[in-house]
Amino acid sequence: QVQLVESGGGLVQPGGSLRLSCAASGSIFTIISMGWYRQAPGKQRELVADKNSGGGTNYADSVKGRFTISRDNAKNTVHLQMNDLKTEDTAVYYCNARLYTNTRSWDDYWGQGTQVTVSS
């Protein structure tokens, strides 16, 4: 009913930039928030950045000043501009959307993940 599709991952050298995009489609009543999580091998999934419906944002301390999250509400799309990438940013990045599909309850939905590798 709800699908999130990510794009924009790849291989980049330290100090480089990538821009991730995620588009949500399907039975969306209203979006509470959209954001990005990442998971490195052997580690738990962690929040990178998110943006709520009021425009408020949250960033992991490790990415503040380097990453910028933005949303295009008309297209149900979220972007993550990643600058000054570091080796420790290497992970699979997952798009997340917390949304209502009806007026009764909300759920979290996840994209399939896109690999970001930062290596020299």
* 73 pLDDT tier (thresholds 50, 70, 90): confident
* 88 pLDDT tier (thresholds 50, 70, 90): very high
Tens digits of residue pLDDT in 5-53: 999 999 999 999 999 999 999 999 999 999 999 999 999 999 999 999 8
CA-to-CA distance for 21 and 30, rounded, in angstroms?
19
What's the rounded mean pLDDT across residues 74-81?
94
- Strand pairing partners for 62? none
- Distinct helix (H) and strand (E) counts, the chain: 0, 11
Compute, in degrees rounded to 10, the torsion defined by CA atoms 108, 62, 77, 45.
-30
Tens digits of residue pLDDT in 93-118: 999 999 998 889 999 999 999 999 99
For residue 105, count other CB atoms closer than 10 A to its CB. 7
Write out the two tokens for 13: 């050298």
Instruction: Flag whether pLDDT at 74 surpasses 90.
Output: no
